[in-house]
Amino acid sequence: MKLGILACLAVILTTEQALAFTCHLSVETTVFTDGPCQYEEDVDGSFRFTDAKSDRIFVYVNMNGDGTAQGYWPGPAGGTHAHDNLGILPRSGACWVNELSRVCAWR
């Protein structure tokens, strides 16, 4: 019984932790999200987030071996596939930024 309760608490905490992030995505001069998001991170530092208001706005940031990352998103109309390339993104604090894109996630 205690083990079942602990397992339930772990799931609840994991979900709350995923939603306890603030995210930002801007491309060129347009801000597509700047607020609560659902965030997931991989062991290598790659991450993805989805806007809390729209599951059609999301981003994948995949770590490269040189400390930069490659970003993808569904494009300005939103969608279900991250097919638009955001380019190589060097890290700047809680953000990954290049001349056209800014992807940020923080607690």
Q: What pLDDT score was predicted for residue 19?
A: 58
Q: What pLDDT score was predicted for residue 68?
A: 97
Q: What does the pLDDT look like over 22-80, one tens digit per residue? A: 999 999 999 999 999 999 999 999 999 999 999 999 999 999 999 999 999 999 999 99
pTM of this prediction exceeds 0.85: no
User: Beta strands 21-27 and 84-89: pairing type?
Assistant: unpaired
Q: What pLDDT score was predicted for residue 5?
A: 40
**What is the side-by-side order of every strand in the sheet holding 101-106?**
84-89, 69-73, 58-63, 47-51, 30-41, 21-27, 101-106, 95-97, 91-92
CB 59 within 8 A of CB 72: yes
What does the alpha-carbon distance between residue 105 and residue 31 come to, in Å, rounded to a whole number?
Answer: 14
Q: What does the pLDDT look like over 68-84, one tens digit per residue? A: 999 999 999 999 999 99
Tokens of 29: 């001069």
Q: What pLDDT score was predicted for residue 20?
A: 83
